[in-house]
């Protein structure tokens, strides 16, 4: 069955930093969501290759070609991987969905957006610069801000206790949100997942 009209996404990018020392860090939320997505697909559905300074997974979702990308260029220069791959594949910014961490959302929260500014996120800033456009879609996974200390150290640290559980649940929901974007479109996913976040906050 083909995806419903309006999904339009051909490239999904999860942002993070390469290397075992960063694997469980807050900044690697995008990588974790890509890994969760891949785990939900039948084995062999997506084939991995290494190109454009990235781990690239090519396959099909509901009858349509789909590419998943994990840039290995380090977060601050993510655009140097995303832009070359998208241009090589003939994919426009509007056909790209980027998954990133977000300091301004509490741990475990999600926020889907059609586009917008980089919000102070260096990975998004690099992608906007290299694409020459901010029109790509976003899934932002909350990691919260540190109560004290340097932000740079905080984003490269891991979660503990209740925050770790909340973040793991958010990664699962983010993967579900991405699948909703693919099957029903960005507006439907925003209505479902952003509304759920709002209602959860209001009920507390």
Tell me if residue 50 is catalytic.
no
CB 116 within 8 A of CB 175: no
Looking at 27, 36, 111, 137, which residue is catalytic? 27
User: Rounded to an integer, what is the distance from CA 103 to the centroid of its chain?
Assistant: 14
Name every residue whose Cβ is closer than 8 Å to that of residue 73 and which is 6 or more positions away in sequence.
53, 54, 80, 81
Going 91 to 76 to 115 to 142, the CA torsion angle's sign is: positive
Residue 160 to residue 177: CA distance in whole angstroms: 24
Residue 102 to residue 42: CA distance in whole angstroms: 30
Active site residues: 27
């Amino acid at each position: 069955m083909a995806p419903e009209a309006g999904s339009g996404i051909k490239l999904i990018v999860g942002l993070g930093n390469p290397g075992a020392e960063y694997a469980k860090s807050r900044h690697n939320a995008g990588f974790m969501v890509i890994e969760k997505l891949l785990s939900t697909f039948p084995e062999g559905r997506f084939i991995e290759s290494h190109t454009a300074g990235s781990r690239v997974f090519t396959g099909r979702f509901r009858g349509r070609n789909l590419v998943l990308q994990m840039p290995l260029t380090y977060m601050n220069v993510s655009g140097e991987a995303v832009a070359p791959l998208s241009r090589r594949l003939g994919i426009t910014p509007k056909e790209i969905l980027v998954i990133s961490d977000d300091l301004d959302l509490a741990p475990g929260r999600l926020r889907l957006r059609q586009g917008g500014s980089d919000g102070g996120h260096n990975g998004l800033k690099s992608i906007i610069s290299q694409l020459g456009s901010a029109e790509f879609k976003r899934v932002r996974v909350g990691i919260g801000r540190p109560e004290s200390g340097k932000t740079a150290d905080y984003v490269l640290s891991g979660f503990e206790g209740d925050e770790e559980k909340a973040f793991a649940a958010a990664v699962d929901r983010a993967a579900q949100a991405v699948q909703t974007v693919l099957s029903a479109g960005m507006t439907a996913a925003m209505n479902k997942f952003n509304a759920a976040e709002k209602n959860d906050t209001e009920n507390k």
